[in-house]
Amino acid sequence: MNKHQSSRLLRRERWEQSDDQQSKKIQEKFAEEPNILYSRLSEINTGVLAIVMTIIVLEIQPPANMAHYVDFIHDIGVFLITFLIVSKFWYDLHKVYTYFIERPSKAIAVLDLLLLAFISLMPVMAKWVMLEPSTMSIANYGLVFLVANLFMSGLQILGFKKSFGMDKKRLEAMSAFRMTSTIVVNIFLIGIAFINPYFSMILYLGFPIATFLVTSGPGSHRQEVK
């Protein structure tokens, strides 16, 4: 083997080593991608919900005189209801990413972003209720709340299956019951809005409080995944 052939063989070996190193780095990035996505989703969830919860209060107009004081109290009530609902969504997302989602996939990211999109509509719906507390405004408020809850249930179910590979009958039955209960309760609240809009808003205030109080902690979640 002459000097020229030896040099060419050496360059080829270096290229192959370089390709192997690049391929290894790419594989490491692919393996790390779900963890990076987990961090990014957690950050955007906290950021978007913080903005939504802040924007709602900006819709409240101070009363110009005592004649508008009743409307002012009404707007504060709508703000408190919406703030509690969005806070409940934040807490639910915290639970989902703590107990259910370990390595999020693209499908989980899409569901998460759709959930944030509908939660972001809550200030618009709240403003509508403030300006015109009618059956139509409260029913649409409830509709957005319903769709957001469905995305939350879907995120929880998909997180279980994607991260833990779970496909048990108990999980499916429990998830179906949770989703059905959410649909029934929300449809009931929307129906009440057509009869008594103000009473419906009071029930919307009680719904996040009641579900928050009965929410189970980490111990029961660990029992569910066994």
Average pLDDT in the 79-99 region?
84
Could you give the CA distance from residue 97 to residue 3 in angstroms, rounded to a whole number? 61
Q: What is the pLDDT of residue 15?
A: 61
- Residues 189-199, mean pLDDT to the nearest whole number: 83
Q: Please, are residues 75 and 61 in contact by the beta-carbon 8 Å criterion?
A: yes
Exposure class string for 45-69: b at 16+ Cβ within 10 A, else e: beebbeebbebbeebbeeeeeeeee
pLDDT of residue 116: 94
pLDDT for the residue 4 = 57
Residue 152 Cα distances to 56, 63, 80, 100, angstroms:
21, 37, 21, 12
Q: What is the mean pLDDT of the chain?
A: 76
Task: Provide the pLDDT confidence category of residue 112 given band limits of 50, 70 and 90.
Answer: very high
Amino acid 221 reads H
- Please indicate whether residue 65 or residue 11 has the higher confidence score (pLDDT): 65
Q: How far apart are CA 217 and CA 17, in angstroms?
A: 51
What's the Cα-to-Cα distance from 204 to each of 93, 105, 178, rounded to whole Å? 19, 33, 18
Q: What are phi and psi of 196, to 5 degrees?
A: -145, 95
Q: Between 163 and 85, whose confidence is greater?
A: 85
Residue 31 backbone dihedrals phi, psi, to 5 degrees? -70, -30
Enclosing H/E stretch for 85: helix 69-95
* Per-residue pLDDT tens over the stretch 49-82: 989 888 878 878 888 888 778 888 888 887 887 8
Residue 65's pLDDT is 82
pLDDT at 145: 86
Whether this model's pTM surpasses 0.85:
no
- The DSSP output letter for 67 is G
Q: What is the pLDDT of residue 5?
A: 58
pLDDT of residue 165: 54
pLDDT of residue 77: 81
Query: Which stretches does DSSP call E strand in the chain?
Result: none
Q: Residues, the chain, total?
A: 226
Domain locations in the chain as residue ranges: 36-224
> Tokens representing 149?
């809850």
pLDDT band at 162 (very low <50, low <70, confident <90, very high): low
**Residue-level pLDDT at 20:** 60
103 dihedral zone (left: phi>0; alpha: psi -120 to 50; beta): beta
Most confident of the following: 10-24, 78-92, 174-188, 203-217: 78-92
